[in-house]
Amino acid sequence: MQTQKKEIPAAELEKEIIDFLMAQATHGGGAHTKPGCNLRHGKACVLATCHDNEPRATPVDFFCDSTLALWINAEPGGKIANIMRNPLVAAGIYDPVDHSIEQKSMQLWGKAELINLKNNPDVFMAKMHEFGLDEAMAGIIEEMAQKGSVPAGAMNETIEKIQKMINLIKITPVKITLLHMKPGGLPIKKTWENGRAFEQIGMV
C-alpha cells in the first residue's frame, strides 16, 4: 500500500529532524576529571564520499549544533581527500534494524566544508569547545602520557600538533529523509528538500 506524497509544514519537519539529530548525536562530557575520552557517544553514523566513481563509506561520530547541519571530527585520511576533490556527500544515521520495535533512521545528502585551524581558527576552536572535543582530546592525551605513549612533559605540545592535523567537517544538507517504522504499521517517510517538506505513508 502506498499513499501519494503530500506537502507538510517545513518548520515542523525541521524541528523533528533537529530533535532526532540532538538525541542521536555524540555529546561532550564536560570538563574531564580522569584520563581517557569522556564523550557520550551517540548512534551509528556512516559518511559516504566519492571520487573518480570510487565510493567510500566511513563510520564516524557526529555532532549537532541545533541546526540541520551535521558536524564530524575527522583525522587525515581518505574521506578528507575525497571531500577536497568532491564536496558532495551523503550520511546515514541508524540503529540496527529491528522490526519488533519502533525505530527512526535518517539519510542526508549535502555539501561538505572542511574547517580547521588554518582556514577558520575561530569557528574551529569554538566548535571544538561546544562539542566537548577539546576536553576529550585532553583526556585521551593524558591517558597516553600515563601509558608512556606521549612524554608527560609534552602533553600540551601534542594537543597542539593534533589540532593542526584534524578537520571539522560541516555538512550543509540539501535533502534529508526521516524514516519512521512502527511494528505492524506502515512506514512513514518524511523528506526535507531545499526548504520544503513532504510526507509519504506506505511503501518507501
pLDDT of 189-204, one tens digit each?
A: 999 999 999 999 986 5
Angle at 165 between CA 161 and CA 166, to 5 degrees: 120
Q: What is the pLDDT at residue 83?
A: 98
CATH number for position 116: 2.30.110.10
Low-confidence ranges of the chain (pLDDT < 70): 1-3, 203-204
State the Cα torsion 158-163-167-168 to the nearest 10°. Answer: 120
**Residue whose cell numbers read 507538510:** 8
Q: Which amino acid type is present at position 61?
A: D
In a domain, 1, yes or no: no
Domain that holds residue 94: 6-201
Q: What is the pLDDT at residue 203?
A: 67
In a domain, 112, yes or no: yes
In a domain, 170, yes or no: yes
In a domain, 53, yes or no: yes
Please state, as a whole number, how many other Cβ atoms lie within 10 Å of the Cβ of residue 28.
Answer: 19
Over residues 167-180, the pLDDT tens digits come to: 999 999 999 999 99
Q: What is the pLDDT at residue 204?
A: 58
Tally of domains within the chain: 1
In a domain, 86, yes or no: yes
In a domain, 190, yes or no: yes
Please state, as a whole number, how many other Cβ atoms lie within 10 Å of the Cβ of residue 196.
Answer: 12
Residue 196's nearest CA partner among 5, 2, 8 is 8
Q: What is the pLDDT at residue 150?
A: 81
DSSP classification of residue 68: S
Q: What is the pLDDT at residue 39?
A: 95
